[in-house]
Amino acid sequence: MQAKWLKKVPIPTILVGGLVIGVMGKLPGAGISVSDELAPLNSWLNQHAASPGVAMFFLGCLVTWLLHQIAAIWLSGRRKRVRTRLADLRKDGVRLRIDGGHISNEADVSPWVEKVEKWDRQVVAAIARIEEADSRQYATLDFPGRARTDPGYVNDAHAQNYIMHDVRLVRLAELMTRYSAQTS
């Protein structure tokens, strides 16, 4: 899967830039003569190619395609690292949910909520590295419903945060499944 900026960018821009350089004979604004730099390639093409202009055009297209492929491979590796980070965060989130289920007094609720909120910010940031819209959707809960388990809440803050955390774990699992399917 390609990055969204890669879909918008360079291929037409690079081809037009190559055309401008070919017509002007130098890099615009830089004063560097392309003909001096490409003289060896030009003379070789003139000797060995029946249509040097056509050969250069397709060589430019090939180089552009190769650059595109290299960028796609780099972005794929980056996406894989973020997915691994999300898997690690989900594991941490499950641990937090288990810890939240063992809270038995009100004094333990506030420190646990702080850990959950920190975890949630990390998840939002990691998702944003893959897709900003998914990150915003993940961060916005309307009516969370009920948790999959009811550990017996010690107060309303515990109940509310436990339920929201459980819903976010489910959402994270769904996103991870979707991201895995997109890379297959």
- What are the extents of the domains in the chain? 4-73, 79-183
Residue type, 127: I
Tell me, what's the pLDDT at 73?
78
* Mean pLDDT confidence for 85-89: 96
| C-alpha–C-alpha distance, residues 79 and 84, integer Å | 9
The larger pLDDT score, comparing residue 148 to residue 98, is at: 98
Largest Cα–Cα separation, the chain: 86
Q: Using one digit for the tens of pLDDT, what is the confidence trace for 131-183?
A: 999 999 998 877 666 777 777 889 989 998 999 999 999 999 999 999 888 76
Give alpha helix (H) positions in 49-142.
Answer: 52-101, 109-128, 132-139
Token pair, residue 65, equals 């395609």
The one-character DSSP state at 184 is: -
Q: Using one digit for the tens of pLDDT, what is the confidence trace for 3-51?
A: 555 555 566 666 677 666 666 666 666 666 666 666 777 777 777 777 7
Please report, in angstroms and rounded to a whole number, the separation of the first and last CA atoms in the chain. 9
Is 36 in a helix, a strand, or coil? helix
How many residues make up the chain in this entry? Answer: 184
